[in-house]
Amino acid sequence: MLYEQALQHMPENSAIHVQCGHMLKEAGDLARAEQHYRAAQRLTPDDPDLALQLGHFYKIAGRPHEAELSFRKALELAPDWAEPAEELSELTDISADAEPADGSTQTPFDSPGLRNGQGGAADAEIPGAPRKLKDLLRRADAARDARKHRAAAQWYESALQLAPKDAALHIQRGHMLKEAGDLSGAERHYVRAQQLTPHDPDLALQFGHFYKVAGRLAEAEMSFRKALELDPDWPEPARELSELYRHGWRKRGVPGDDAADGRGRTSAFPGFDTLDRTGWDGLSLKAWLVPEVAPCAPEGLLHEHNEEVAIRWLGRRERTPWGVRGTLRGIDALRGFCVSATPIVSWHADLNGLRFHRAGALKGYHLKYENRDRTKKKYVFNLWYDFSQFREGLYNLELQFVNEAGATRTHHQQIVIGAPLSEQQYPHSDRLVSISAGDDRPLDEQINSRASMIRPAAAGRSVASPRAVLVQRVDQLGDLVVSIPALRRLRQLLPETRLVGLLSLANADLGRTLNLFDEVIAIDFPDDEWERRRVMPIDQQIKLRRRLAPFRFDIAIDLSEADVSRPLLQLSGAPFLVGFCDGRSPWLSATYEAYVSDPINDLEEIPTSTKILGMVEWFGTLLHSHSQIVRRADLDRDRLVPYGLACDDRFVVLHTGARLKFSQWPYYDRLSSMLLDQTELKVVMMTDDPNRRSELPDELLASERFQLLDQRLPFDDFDALLSFCTVYVGNDTGPSHLASLRGANVVNVFLARHNWNEWGHENRGYIISRRVPCAGCNVHHDPEECGKDFACLVNISVREVFETVMKFV
């Protein structure tokens, strides 16, 4: 401080000492400020202005007695000076104004629970108390009532010098120190009061309040209990104990006594609270059960739906020049619904203000869980559109829904239109749809009239064996050390593949000694302290991309569990990118996630090397198919006889049933008739629908080569029918997978709500599916959200299924 530097040259300058005091006081350093004020007083003891300044200082410091003395001295040194007189008047006026006419000093700052006639210092009669003590108490009480807690505490301290054994004074000073935040000082005075009056229930209650404020709940409980023991009829400590238990504090000495401590809980699951409290080995039955899977009360699922536009599909999220955004390419779908209490009579879609679609009324569906307004409905839309008619770029999309009252509800979103992709480039994707440029029919008609996709079940189920793989570990030396078991395993999995290590300058030398890489590329990828991540300038990224391009990598793998290096995979040029799941890299082709939680702190408790090895082992499983055919030696064809089949009969099983009714192909009866007419096969139709028999043609039911099984069969009989059939036809349900497991020729009529190569069967046979822009919709509990009447299933023709069956006949 400059003033202190000046004092080094003029240590006897009183004015500089005063200025130092002012500055330190304003900075909150009261101790050093007082030193400078007193040094100034020694130099100029008869300066009235300095005496006034000391009074202000003591007033701020909460030392009112010394403040009064300083103001009086200023007035003595300058009797005609009004300011010290006003300061003295203010001090005495506070005392006079605060004292009630009846002489009582009940304070609003006393802790709750004080009984009448107890606890007030000014109420205590002190026989023969000197006038000075009464004067100090009036000043203390006035400061207390004015919420000047530190000043009041100082006045009570001065009074205690005259009456050190007055318990009420100790309690009042404790209250003021507590209110001022000095809990340790407050506790000392409460303890002293307790020593003076150990059997005072009010004091025990005050201790309880103090310990609650201090966060010492066990001592608070003990104090409230003591107050109740000293005065069993006093309701205040009982209320405090009840409040303590109601907020969750465990009743001491009664573990688990939730009912006694007021914490009885009500379960959200009906009947769960009726369970006995203890069971096996004295443990709570609830600890043995899982309320999450217990049924809820039906009304518990009801809720109010907002009137809004909900989007189910608006392009795949891709990395674009405008960030990660929903990207529409070629023929794509806009799916979702509008919740409205008024029917939607028209809707349209705009891109950058250009209206590219307009349609009439949407079909409304009741909201199953609406609990207030049953007029609200879900109006579903599923638009197929060829976005290749727009240039690539960033667009503002607006969807507008007009209800019959003329009101409009809109949805705005920025989307990216990208270049179309070809079916030949992605032959396994059913979402990718192409049309003929010269076909002028409506888009929906063109898509629905295309031939279905008929693929061998074993096709497209593994990653092709790579020629060159980039392995990335661009961090520290220890990171490469823990990756060595995974690298060795990767080399075992890919003995003929060229492995190139992209390493950092910190670990490249170690990498060269491992004899695992065919080549090591070392790069500088520093950790930026300011950005708290690793960074690479654009010019260095260009150099790295050019350096990696000649390798023509098939696969690139990032072994880092942290995501800081994951983006570098995109510089490899590899079409298949592998890394740990981080939730921020939607462009990864394959992700892996592994975590073993410590039961106490939820942190990882297995070595990082194990997790990295786990990812490589998982990657290894992608290189080959793992489907198996498992036949039962204990089954024989005699089990077929009760179902109208001879042991040497050739027959087709048609399984029509499915847990999800909307996923049932609707043409099994026509396929049955075609098989009976054009082959010598017998037909066994299985269904779980008891009404199915009444829906079938009479001539089909009358055929001796046709059997309808609409009852649940013994498993061994069911297994035999699937194991010995010539061909099995069904959708992606359990029976199809069981038939495949037994080695049957399976024709899977596949609904494209999932990918065929995820949930189609894996062994012999074919999977029939359709390319539609909304494939992968994942419709399940709300089939009305399809919006296209399940075109991906109903447009699979009987002829296509029949011709596929005939490949095995």
Of 131, 128, 183, 121, the C-alpha closest to 157 is 121
How large is the average pLDDT for residues 95-115?
37
Of 158, 176, 143, the C-alpha closest to 59 is 143
pLDDT in tens, 1-49: 677 877 787 888 888 888 888 888 877 788 888 888 888 888 998 898 8
273 band by pLDDT with thresholds 50, 70 and 90: low
599 and 476 in a common domain: yes
In sign, the C-alpha dihedral spanning 342, 348, 350, 354 is negative
Residue whose structure tokens are 């003995």: 495
519 and 383 in a common domain: no
Structure token pair of residue 285: 């039955």
Structure token pair of residue 446: 């063109």
85 and 129 in a common domain: no
Structure token pair of residue 16: 């500089």
Of 717, 748, 728, the C-alpha closest to 632 is 717
Q: Are 109 and 147 in contact (CB under 8 A)?
A: yes
- pLDDT-above-70 percentage for the chain: 90
Q: Are 137 and 121 in contact (CB under 8 A)?
A: yes
796 and 665 in a common domain: yes
Structure token pair of residue 549: 């391009």
The count of structural domains within the chain is 5
Higher pLDDT, 79 or 608: 608
DSSP collapsed to 3 states, 494-517? CCCCEEEEEEECCCHHHHHHCCCC
* The length of the chain, given as a count of residues: 809
Structure token pair of residue 99: 């004292």
40 is in which domain, residue-wise? 2-97
What is the rounded CA–CA span in Å between residue 230 and residue 244?
Answer: 19
pLDDT at 271: 54
Flag whether 278 is in a domain.
no
- Give the count of beta carbons closer than 10 Å to the beta carbon of residue 365: 15
Q: Is the pLDDT of residue 278 over 80?
A: no
pLDDT at 120: 42
What is the rounded CA–CA span in Å between residue 503 and residue 509?
Answer: 9
How large is the average pLDDT for residues 691-699?
93
158 and 31 in a common domain: no
Q: Are 392 and 320 in contact (CB under 8 A)?
A: no
Flag whether 369 is in a domain.
yes
pLDDT at 130: 67
660 and 588 in a common domain: no
pLDDT in tens, 621-634: 999 989 999 999 99
CATH number at residue 391: 2.60.40.10
CATH number at residue 44: 1.25.40.10
What is the rounded CA–CA span in Å between residue 805 and residue 765?
Answer: 9
Structure token pair of residue 658: 């499915």
What is the rounded CA–CA span in Å between residue 796 and residue 748?
Answer: 11
What's the number of CA atoms in the CB half-sphere (13 Å) around residue 202? 17
How large is the average pLDDT for residues 320-325?
92
**Final residue of a domain: which of 97, 121, 141?**
97
113 and 87 in a common domain: no
Flag whether 41 is in a domain.
yes
Q: Are 474 and 525 in contact (CB under 8 A)?
A: yes
Of 426, 459, 381, 329, the C-alpha closest to 761 is 459
Q: Is the pLDDT of residue 431 over 70?
A: yes
CATH number at residue 792: 3.40.50.2000
**Final residue of a domain: which of 621, 646, 673?**
621
pLDDT at 287: 67
Q: Are 17 and 37 in contact (CB under 8 A)?
A: yes
Flag whether 286 is in a domain.
no
pLDDT at 704: 95
Structure token pair of residue 62: 């909460």
pLDDT in tens, 480-495: 999 999 999 999 999 9
* φ, ψ dihedrals at 448, nearest 5°: -70, -20
Q: Is the pLDDT of residue 463 over 90?
A: no
pLDDT at 638: 95
pLDDT at 259: 45
Structure token pair of residue 649: 């009969």
Average pLDDT, the chain: 88
Q: Are 358 and 348 in contact (CB under 8 A)?
A: yes
Note the Cα 421 to chain centre separation in Å.
35
647 and 529 in a common domain: no
Structure token pair of residue 81: 């000076």
pLDDT at 253: 60
What is the rounded CA–CA span in Å between residue 555 and residue 472?
Answer: 11
DSSP state of 748: E
Of 136, 196, 205, 148, the C-alpha closest to 168 is 196
**DSSP string covering 685-740, please?**
EE-S-TTHHHHS-HHHHH-TTEEEE-SPPPHHHHHHHHHH-SEEEE-SSHHHHHHH
* φ, ψ dihedrals at 288, nearest 5°: -95, -5
672 and 534 in a common domain: no
Structure token pair of residue 785: 């959200």
- In sequence order, the 6+-apart residues with CB closer than 8 A to the CB of 383 are 333, 334, 335, 349, 357, 359
497 and 591 in a common domain: yes
Q: Is the pLDDT of residue 98 over 70?
A: no
598 and 523 in a common domain: yes
495 and 406 in a common domain: no
Flag whether 729 is in a domain.
yes
Q: Is the pLDDT of residue 263 over 50?
A: no
Which whole-number Å values give the CA distances from 782 to 298, 343, 366, 735, 778, in the listed order? 18, 20, 11, 24, 10
Q: Is the pLDDT of residue 92 over 70?
A: no
pLDDT at 282: 46
Flag whether 797 is in a domain.
yes
647 band by pLDDT with thresholds 50, 70 and 90: very high
Q: Are 338 and 344 in contact (CB under 8 A)?
A: yes
Flag whether 241 is in a domain.
yes
DSSP state of 611: H
Q: Is the pLDDT of residue 93 over 60?
A: no
pLDDT at 750: 96
Torsion on CA atoms 774, 778, 781, 785, rounded to nearest 10: -10
Residue whose structure tokens are 């020049």: 321
Range from 29-38, 121-130, 433-442, 512-521 carrying the lowest mean pLDDT = 121-130
pLDDT at 437: 83
Instruction: Give the angle 752-377-293 at the CA atoms, nearest 5°.
Output: 65
pLDDT in tens, 183-238: 899 999 989 998 999 999 988 998 899 899 889 999 999 999 999 999 999 999 99
264 band by pLDDT with thresholds 50, 70 and 90: very low
pLDDT in tens, 725-770: 999 999 989 999 999 999 999 999 999 999 999 999 999 999 999 9
To the question of pTM greater than 0.85 for the whole model, the response is no
pLDDT at 65: 77
Q: Is the pLDDT of residue 128 over 50?
A: no
**Final residue of a domain: which of 246, 264, 288?**
246
617 band by pLDDT with thresholds 50, 70 and 90: very high
Q: Is the pLDDT of residue 283 over 80?
A: no
Flag whether 176 is in a domain.
yes
